[in-house]
Amino acid sequence: MHPIKPNLFSKIDPFILVDIGAAMGINKQWDRPDLNVVTIGFEPNVEEFRKLEQTQKREWVNAGLAGQTGRRTLYLTKGFTNTSLLKPNFAKLEEVDFGDGHQITSELSIPCLTLQEALEGRSNRPDFIKVDTQGTELEILKGGEALLENEVVGVEVEVEFFPIYEKQPLFAEVDLYMRERGFDLFDLGNFLYLKSRGHHNTGGPKGKIISCDAVYFKSMEKILSLPSGQRLRKIRALLTAYYVYGYSDFGLAALDKLENLLELDERAAWRDIFASQAASLSKFRKIPGGSIASRALRKLSRLLQPVRSALWVAGLGNQDW
């Protein structure tokens, strides 16, 4: 991690991250000393909630979020990360080598709120939403539609291409919903591929694509159309999100459009941040033949992947390159 000089993040409003499905705590890209991030996290599973440490900048709430207010059944599963408000789709799970992690161990009736209700009246307003709730991501986002339209600058959402849970929406529906609300798809990562059940050691390392994470950012045009009272804060929030995911090129391009909206000193500080990041991310590619070498190394890495039932490939953004 490269140092930031000056540390602009300590001088602007905290970045408010809403983490829905917060088991295991905050994701590593947000857990960095150079950032000023305040997290509001929601985790419905009491056992996992109790493992989360409350701090001045991390508030964890034991609550379920859904598309509507009311009681829902929470299906607790053998693999705790598979717990969901939707019942596992056992007929489809029989097709792939997913093991028995979706086996239901117990069922709980829990009260659920919409995202809009859960954040109502809070002084900390959301800048970014991360949602990983095993199939209910779209209904949760729909339960906070006004927040997406008027406040949120980015979303990281788990999406599926294979119906792991009954009646869950797949990637195409999530993507259409986000694009209709002015969000651009920037990346897909953390791909999960599964082999056909009973054939986990057959063929190459990949199986059928099952799920991945998607990251969306609101377009600068949409942010510039926000009311003047919140426009500056959301511009800074978008620039912060670009930095977190390593999009220094889009950060610098955005600054080119903001000459009349940011003071000269602040623009210079942001340019320093993104230029430093770009230099850090580009070091290997500046080696003669580096681009060819990097492609060769990635190909070699794929060839060396063991053949097994599951394969996870690549994180989001440019920070892993």
Give the model's confidence band at 218: pLDDT under 50 very low, under 70 low, under 90 confident, else very high: very high
What is the residue whose two structure tokens read 């209709």? 180
Mean pLDDT of all residues in the chain? 89
CA atoms of 221 and 224, how far apart (whole Å): 5
What's the first-to-final CA gap in the chain, in angstroms? 13
Backbone angles phi, psi at 112, to 5 degrees: -125, 150
pLDDT at 275: 93
Is 157 part of any domain? Answer: yes
pLDDT above 50 for 5: no
Give just the sign of the alpha carbon dihedral 4, 6, 10, 11.
negative
| Residues in a beta bridge with 247 | none
Give the model's confidence band at 177: pLDDT under 50 very low, under 70 low, under 90 confident, else very high: very high
CA atoms of 148 and 260, how far apart (whole Å): 26
Is 92 part of any domain? Answer: no
CATH code of 212's domain: 3.40.50
The bridge status of strand 183-194 relative to strand 310-313 is antiparallel
What is the 8-class DSSP label of residue 55? B
Give the model's confidence band at 278: pLDDT under 50 very low, under 70 low, under 90 confident, else very high: confident
In the chain, DSSP finds a helix count (H) and a strand count (E) of: 11, 11
pLDDT at 247: 95
Domain span at residue 202 reads 8-67+112-313
Is 106 part of any domain? Answer: no
Give the model's confidence band at 24: pLDDT under 50 very low, under 70 low, under 90 confident, else very high: confident
Highest mean pLDDT among 32-41, 141-150, 312-321: 141-150
What is the 8-class DSSP label of residue 89? -
pLDDT at 23: 82
Q: What does R_g of the chain's alpha carbons equal in angstroms?
A: 21
Average of pLDDT values for 181-198? 94
Is 30 part of any domain? Answer: yes
Is 121 part of any domain? Answer: yes
Is 91 part of any domain? Answer: no
Average of pLDDT values for 116-136? 96
Residue 41 in contact with residue 60, Cβ under 8 Å? Answer: yes
pLDDT at 305: 56
Is 94 part of any domain? Answer: no
Average of pLDDT values for 131-147? 97
Q: How many domains does the chain have?
A: 1
Average of pLDDT values for 179-207? 91
pLDDT above 50 for 2: no
What is the 8-class DSSP label of residue 306? P
What is the residue whose two structure tokens read 């986002």? 141
pLDDT at 295: 66
pTM of the predicted model as reported, rounded to 2 decimal places? 0.89
Is 98 part of any domain? Answer: no
CA atoms of 318 and 150, how far apart (whole Å): 27
Residue 93 in contact with residue 118, Cβ under 8 Å? Answer: no
CA atoms of 89 and 108, how far apart (whole Å): 18
The bridge status of strand 154-160 relative to strand 208-218 is antiparallel
Those residues whose C-beta lies under 8 Å from the C-beta of residue 288, and which sit 6 or more positions away, are none
pLDDT > 90: percent of the chain: 69
Higher per-residue confidence, 198 vs 301: 198
